[in-house]
Amino acid sequence: MLDAKTCFQARTSRDSRFDGKFFTAVLTTGIFCRPICPARAAKEENVRYFENSQQALESGFKPCKRCLPEHAPEQMYPVVLKRMADALVTSQESVAQIASYFELSERQFRRNFSDAFGIAPTQYRLHHHSLLARKLIQNTTLTMTEVCFAAGFTSLRQFNQTIKQTFSCTPSQLRKSKGKEQKSSGIDIKLHYRPPFDWQAMLSFFQHRQLQGVEVVTNESYQRTINVGQHKGWFKVTHLPSGHALNLHVVLDDYKHLNYIINKVRRLFDLDADMNLIHQQLSTDPVLASSIEKNKGVRLPGCWDLFEFSVRAILGQQVSVKAATTLAARIASRYGDSNTFSNTDLTLLFPTVEQLSDASFEDLGLTQARIQTLRTWVEYYQNNAETLTHYQDLSVLEKQLVALKGIGPWTVNYIAMRGLSDPNAFPASDLGIIKALTKEDKKPTTKQIIERASAWQPWRAYATLYLWLSNAKKS
C-alpha cells in the first residue's frame, strides 16, 4: 500500500501514473474515486485510501459516477496472486475447488488471498462482478439477462439484489441514459491501461507473427477468431489514445463468457503492467537503460490461447519467426474449423488440443523429430493442462517439462513468458539475448547471463523484450 503522503500528492495532481494503484474514499459523501477524478479534491481529514475498489465497496462506499472506478486499470500483483484473482472472477467454481488447483487447502487459500487483497475471496468476486455489471449496463446494449451472466452472476435474483445493494438503484435505473434495451450482434468495451503504452510496437510484434486466417493485424488494429468452450466468435482491438484505453469489439454466440474474454485480452496486451516501476528497476543496467530510453512503453505481448501458443513455441525452436508462423498456419488450415461468423478476413479457428490428439502432422514441412515432439506435447497437454496454468514456481515447472523429449529450457521459458504472461520468465540461451549482451565480439555464457539477469528480477521477461529491441537498433 502506498503511503498517505504519496496518495495525497497523486490525487491532488490527478497523476495518471497512479490510476488503479489506489482509490480515494470520502467519508462525508460515502463515495470512492480514482486518483484522476475530475471532481474537486476532498480535504485529507475526510479521506480514506484503499488499495483496490473491492475494499472500498466492502467498506460501504459507492463508486463515483464521474470517474467510474470500474474503468481503472488493474493492479499489478505477483503472478501467483494474479492467477488466484483471475480464477475467482472468471470461474463459477467454489473457493475450495480453486484452492485445490494451487495445491492449497481452502483455509490457506482464503488466508493468502485476504492478506494480499485485504478482502475475502467471495467478497472480492462479488464486488468484481458488480463493477463489471455496471460497466456493461452503461456501455453496451446487452440485455439485462446477458449482462447478468456475462458479469459472472449465477442468477438474475442475485444480480438484481447485488446491483441494488451496491449502487442504491436497480439495473434498469442504471441504464436509464442508454434508452431501450436491444439485442446486439457485437459489443464494445473500453479496457483502460496506465501509461506509457507503445501501441504501435505491440501491433508490430503481432503483425510479424500473425497467423493467416486466424489473425489479422494492421497498423491500426488486431483481430482474431476465438473459441471458448463450445462457443465461437471473434474480436477486434483498436486504440483510444485520448483516454489511455483500448476498445474491444466482441462478437460471440454466448456472452456469458465475456468476463473470461475481457480478462484474456487484458493479458494479451499486458494492460495491467506498471511500466514506470519496471523501467525504474531495469534501467540500472546500461544496456537495458539505452533500449528503454528509445522504446518506452513496450509491453509483454501475451497470447489468446495457451495451447495454441505452446504449439507455436515448439514450431519456433531453432527456426525463424516467419518459418514458425508458416508452419502454424498449415496446422490451422488442415486441422482447424472454419469461422462461420460474418467476417471475411477471419476464416479459421486454431485447432483445439482434442482436434490435434490424433493428428499426424505429416506433409506439412516438419522434420520427424519435430512431429514427435508435437505428438508428445499434445498428449501431455491434454492430461496436464492445469500443471501449466496453476504452477507456483517456474523452476519447478521447467524441471517437469524438460523431462519431455524435445522440450528444452528455452521452450519452457518462452511459453511461460508469452503463453503464461510470467514477468520473470527468461529464455537465457536465446540467441537474441546473447547477441545483445555480446561485447567486443566476446559472447557471454548462459551462466553469466543468468547471473547478470538476477538484478532484473522479477521483470526478466521485459528485459528480454528490451534486449531484442536493442538488437534491432544495431541492425
pLDDT for residue 462: 97
Lookup result for grid cell 464521474: 66
* 274-299+423-475: CATH class: mainly alpha
What is the gyration radius of the CA atoms in the chain, in angstroms?
23
Prediction pTM value: 0.90
Neighbours of 209 (CB within 10 A): 18
CATH architecture of 79-178: Orthogonal Bundle (1.10)
Angle of helix 460-474 relative to helix 275-282, nearest 10 degrees, comes to 70
Angle of helix 286-294 relative to helix 460-474, nearest 10 degrees, comes to 70
CATH of range 4-69; options 3.40.50.150, 3.40.190.10, 3.40.10.10, 2.60.40.10: 3.40.10.10
Q: To the nearest 10°, the Cα dihedral for 425, 431, 434, 440?
A: -160
CA 231-70-228 angle, to 5 degrees, is 10
Q: Which three three-digit cell numbers place residue 371?
A: 512431429
Which residue ranges make up each domain of the chain?
Answer: 4-69, 79-178, 187-273, 274-299+423-475
Strand partners, 240: 245
3-state per-residue secondary structure call for 336-389: CEECCCCCCCCCEECCCCCCCCCCCCCCCCCCHHHHHHHHHHHHHHHHHHHHHH
Lookup result for grid cell 505452446: 310
Strand partners, 144: none
Cβ proximity of 360 and 293 under 8 Å: no
3-state per-residue secondary structure call for 190-210: EEECCCCCCHHHHHHHHHCCC
Determine the longest span between alpha carbons in the chain, in angstroms: 72
pLDDT 10s digit of each residue in the chain, 475 long?
578 999 999 999 999 889 999 999 999 999 999 999 999 999 999 999 999 999 999 999 999 999 999 999 988 888 899 999 999 999 989 999 999 999 999 999 999 999 999 999 999 999 999 999 999 999 888 999 999 999 999 999 999 999 999 999 999 999 875 544 445 578 999 999 999 999 999 999 999 999 999 999 999 999 999 999 888 899 999 999 887 999 999 998 888 899 999 999 999 999 999 999 999 999 999 999 999 999 989 999 999 999 999 999 999 998 999 999 999 999 999 999 987 776 778 999 999 999 999 999 999 999 999 999 999 999 999 999 988 988 889 999 999 999 999 999 999 999 999 999 999 999 999 999 999 999 988 999 999 999 999 999 999 999 999 999 998 756 5
CATH homologous superfamily of domain 187-273? Answer: DNA-3-methyladenine glycosylase AlkA, N-terminal domain (3.30.310.20)
Q: Which residues are catalytic?
A: 33, 430
- Cis before residue 444, ω within 30 degrees of 0? no
Nearest Cα to 352, choosing from 211, 226, 206? 226
- Are both 4-69 and 187-273 of the same fold? no
